[in-house]
Structure 1
């Protein structure tokens, strides 16, 4: 059973409850002062507390999507270093391979013409040789005959770090929200490409083209759009039809991609973003002494020293509970000063760096993103 399985969580809770009552029941029998009784008490307390912490950890992982599998949790993910063929499509099976489908959790979701469809795919990057899993949400209109000649704008959706793509569906409910907003006429139907920015796990690359290492920024600026366009023939082909949104690390990456590549992404949303790539044990040496690359990864520096990008940005934060609030205000001020880049903001009175806050911000953010994209 997988790490995110409901059965695993249920078994952990049942086991913790049984251990708790077992400890209460056997405690009087272990009240003596010999080493066997003391060892028994220590063992029961340790096992009970461990089971409770395991249950809480599994529940937190279910809610916030930190790790996708046991191998991901223990740093044994085998997704790094996948090499693909250098053909025109990047791989023998094509630049995108669909490996499964699932329904959208909405009324009538069992029928694609009503609820749309979620496809689990693998994206193969012809230029970077990076391969990564992702999910694609296709709106109901994609399957309705009256829209068979219509193309659709695309929103790339990124998690934080470590994050899981599944959390964008189960925890942050992007497909359900997009479906409901479109059905109510608050946003246009959009295709969502959902994945985590950690495309070479477990390393946190901060979406940087690392010298001598993974070319992650190039993957998102070149390979991902090319792959999606080659497989899904009814997506927007112009930059005006592509936007990107993410939270935390994903928010930083989204803003950076739109600023560095306005010819690829017409708009970007950063939910609780930060504005400079950190260097820590999860990232390793990202820049290898390349000061220019390090400066480009600093969005504040980029606004001061590089030509203003012709793109639209939205940043979100909270006055109380969000530790990047002051930096967000400074970023907004710097963008306004260049008079080319368009900036919007969504500021809550309170809210932490967590799913609950982002769930409050996603509907408005998707509406904003939809309003700045065109499939024509």
Structure 2
């Protein structure tokens, strides 16, 4: 039975009802020695507690799309075929222009919560050695004959940790929110791409490449990106690509955009952080060298010192103590052509929650429309 969805939720509710009825029905009817009766009653109480906790977990998980599968929850999912040393550029000596097209078969998304028009595919990354599902939503204009010769800009959506590839489309309702804005012309039409980011068992990758463990950076910035260009009318230059993330995904969005200005022109980071060690399960945060090298602030300072400030636009939002200071730090060291737009969220807006990020969706896509071109 799937971890998400109605069947498991209804089953957990049924078990909770049974767990609460049992003590009332059997408490005084249990026969046998006192020790046996006490043990049976203790087990009934434990059963009631476990089922209550399960119902709460299922409700929270369904609302926030934290864990998509049992493998994600238990840390047994295997999404890595190999993790070769791919070098500084994450390409392993290969060039995208020389790689054959990776044409994919797409099917309707398997969860109605992501909304209509969302399709998905199972991608095996040829460069990264990572495999996982990728969700794609096409703007209303994509199938309009007036746009048949147009290539569309793309926004790659990254969830927090733990987080499912469905979170932006489900919990944040990004497609439902931007569809009418695109139809009315208030927001530029974008292709939305939401790939799996939970690819290493029981840990947050920090969106880095670690030889022998995982090539999460190359999965997102090379394999997923190429697949979209190969299968859709998507722009293939940096001016057509952006990243958007919240929490751990915000860290990744800023880090990847600053690291690869040749692949992305802009990034949105909501309630994120610069130091990867602030996520206790981050692989990058636990490695002293990677902790420094994958810090967006360090990336920006290093690029400035080398005389090559990245042509990258960042939109950073957060409350005091929850992303705002991280944005101010980046803005302090931004040198042309780097730009950093920092927006402070009220501390009373709702905290580090989906509702806070959901409310920002229209604004961030209006901003992205000023940064990207098709």
Give the TM interval when normalised to the shorter protein: 0.7 to 0.9
- Please give the alpha-carbon distance, in whole angstroms, between the structure 1 residues aligned to 2:104 and 2:44: 49
- Which stretch has the larger CA shift, 145-154 or 264-273? 145-154
> Once the 2 structures are TM-superposed, how far is the Cα of residue 87 of structure 1 from its aligned partner?
12
**Residue of structure 2 in register with 1:330 after alignment:** 329
Tell me how far apart the structure 2 counterparts of residues 89 and 128 of structure 1 sit (CA, whole Å). Answer: 16
Greater mean deviation of Cα atoms: 216-225 or 133-142: 216-225
1:14 positional shift: 2.2
2:53 is matched with which residue? 53
Aligned residue for 2:292, secondary structure, equals helix
How many Å separate the matches in 1 of 2:54 and 2:67? 14
Secondary structure of 1:314's aligned partner? strand
Within the candidate set 107, 132, 154, 1:100 is matched to 107
Equivalent residues of 1:268, 1:313 under 8 A apart: yes
Residue by residue over 1:310-345, the C-alpha shift from the partner in whole angstroms, topping out at 9 and shown as x without a partner, is 1110011124xx54443333333333xx24311112
* Residues 91, 134 of structure 1: alpha-carbon distance in 2 compared, 3 angstrom cutoff: farther
Give the distance between the partners of 1:70 and 1:135, measured in 2 at CA.
19
In 1, the alpha carbon distance for the partners of 2:280 and 2:155 equals 31
In the alignment, structure 1 residue 297 sits paired with structure 2 residue 294: yes
Equivalent residue runs for 1:43-192 within 5 Å? 43-81=43-81, 95-102=102-109, 117-192=117-192
Q: Which runs of 5+ in 1 are unaligned?
A: 110-114
Match of 1:4 in 2: 4
The structural deviation recorded for 1:265 is: 0.7
How far 1:165 moved relative to its partner?
Answer: 0.9
The TM-score normalised by the length of structure 1 is 0.85
How far does residue 69 in structure 1 lie from its aligned partner after superposition?
A: 1.0
Structure 2, unaligned runs of 5 or more = 84-93
Q: Is the 8 A contact 1:159 1:247 kept in 2?
A: yes
**Per the alignment, in what secondary structure is the counterpart of residue 264 of structure 2?**
coil
Task: Decide whether the 8 Å contact of 2:78 with 2:200 is kept in 1.
Answer: no
Alpha-carbon contact 1:206-1:277 (below 8 Å) kept: yes
Work out whether 1:313 is the aligned partner of 2:314.
yes
Equivalent residue number for residue 264 of structure 1: 263
1:165 is paired with a residue whose SS is coil
* Deviation string, structure 1 residues 10-61 (Cα, Å, up to 9, x no partner): 1111221232133234334469992233223212111111100011111111
Does the 8 Å contact 2:153/2:235 carry over to 1?
Answer: yes
Match of 1:340 in 2: 337
Distance 1:213 1:88, change over 3 A: same
**Preserved contact between residue 137 and residue 192 of structure 2 (Cα < 8 Å):** yes
Task: Look up the match of 1:112.
Answer: none
Hey, what does 2:355 align to over in structure 1? 356
Shift of 1:286: 7.1
Whole-angstrom distance in 2 between the partners of 1:261 and 1:90: 19
CA shift for structure 1 position 4: 0.2
Deviation at 1:249, TM superposition (A): 1.3
Task: Tell whether the 8 Å contact from 2:317 to 2:344 is kept in structure 1 after alignment.
Answer: yes
Tell me the C-alpha RMSD between the 2 structures.
Answer: 3.1
How many residue pairs get aligned? The number is 358
**Displacement after TM superposition at 1:280 (Å):** 7.5
CA distance in 2 between counterparts of 1:7 and 1:196 reads: 23
Q: 1:273 is paired with a residue of what secondary structure?
A: coil
